[in-house]
Amino acid sequence: MNLDGLFTRTTVSFQPSLPFDELIINGHEATGKGLERVSYILDMVREMAGIKANAEVMSGNNFPAGAGIASSAAAFAALALASSTAAGLNLNEAQLSRLARRGSGSASRSIPSGFVEWKMGTGDGDSVAESFAPPEHWDLADCVAIVDTRHKRTGSTEGHALAWTSPLQAARVDDAPRRLDICRNAILQRDFDGFANIIEHDSDMMHAVMMTSNPPLMYWQSATIEIFHAVREWRASGLPAAYTVDAGANVHVICLSGQVGAVEKRLRELPGVRDVLVAKVGGPARIV
């Protein structure tokens, strides 16, 4: 489910006079691994376009970065589109999804519109994301409960590297096609209860792997767990809401758009919730 209203805006300018690639994020120069990941994508674009110039990349978010709100997914989707366009390429959606995936797996899903599935494919060439329902298919909203805006100590890339040290990871991966089918069908049928149960189950499984990896990763905070309990109580009492958590402490509470006011109000009343960001289902990555 791509989001409208929470965004990353990225500009790329290839300049022959630059001695090396430059990366500015939210007004601050970035170096090290962050710059290396960006240059990796730029190198692929340069090879496709047949150019050698280094690039200035300027990027900014209107939401906290590195805090479990998919900032890497948004950033590399924006980078794939901006850099390929700046280099004179005209990549189709599948090509953009593949390019974005090389920076962050989740970024492949941030290229298409609406409700999106990342296809495993048979290899690098066809492991891309496709939209299976447009934004208007189901009027959902994401109320992101912010409990911590700090950049997490262990990033998603490092967390993925640890996943197979957990004895639970093999079972999680083997069961993924079943969970994916249930989630896709629930969305297509607009079955909120089925959708809620599977996204909460999937989120809990992912974090169970993190907690049992070596070394263990614990992203949740006390406020995170309080939100879990509250959301399940709300749903049991008739308010359609469900939670899911990325690699971070902040909680995505998905609800029907007509219930945003009630969900946002209740979230803000919970201890430890600093802010609530609201976004509806959004369109594709685009040039602005």
Residue 68 lies in a domain: yes
Same domain? For 111 and 161 the reply is no
Q: Per the domain annotation, does 118 fall within a domain? A: yes
Whether residues 139 and 207 fall in one domain? yes
Q: Rounded to whole angstroms, how far apart are CA atoms 259 and 262?
A: 5
What is the number of structural domains in the chain? 2
**In a shared domain, residues 172 and 123:** no
d(CA 84, CA 205): 36
Return the structure tokens found at 25.
């994020």
Other C-beta atoms lying within 10 Å of the C-beta of residue 151: 12
Q: Are 100 and 80 in contact (CB under 8 A)?
A: yes
Contact 112, 2 (CB under 8 A): yes
Same domain (yes/no): 36, 84? yes
Asked if the structure places residue 287 within a domain, the reply is no
Token digits of residue 7: 């965004």
Half-sphere exposure of 43 (CA within 13 A, CB side): 9
Domain-embedded: residue 267? yes
The span from the CA of 240 to the CA of 286, in Å, is 31
| Residue where one domain finishes, among candidates 79, 100, 133 | 133
Q: Is 286 part of any domain?
A: no
Examine the domain organization and report whether 99 and 218 are in the same domain: no
142 and 260 co-located in one domain: yes
CA distance 98 to 119: 11
- CATH code where residue 268 lies: 3.30.70.890
Cα 10 to Cα 84: distance, rounded to the nearest angstrom:
12
* 88/151 same-domain check: no
Q: State residue 155's pLDDT score.
A: 67
Could you tell me which residues are beta bridge partners of residue 252? 144, 244
Range of 250's domain? 135-281
pLDDT at 280: 95
| Same domain membership, residue 148 and residue 43 | no
CATH of residue 85: 3.30.230.10
The answer on 150 and 96 residing in a single domain is: no
23 and 85 inside one domain: yes
Answer whether residue 288 is part of any domain: no
pTM for this structure? 0.91
Q: What is the pLDDT of residue 149?
A: 82
Residues in the chain predicted with pLDDT less than 70, given as ranges, are 66-68, 152, 154-157
Domain ends where: 77, 112, 133? 133
Residue 233 falls inside a structural domain: yes
On whether both 56 and 7 belong to a single domain, the answer is yes
Q: In 10 A of CB 260, how many CB atoms?
A: 19
- pLDDT score recorded for residue 159: 72
Tell which of 102, 133, 164 closes a domain: 133
How far apart CA 148 and CA 240 sit, in angstroms, is 25
**Same domain flag for 120 and 172:** no
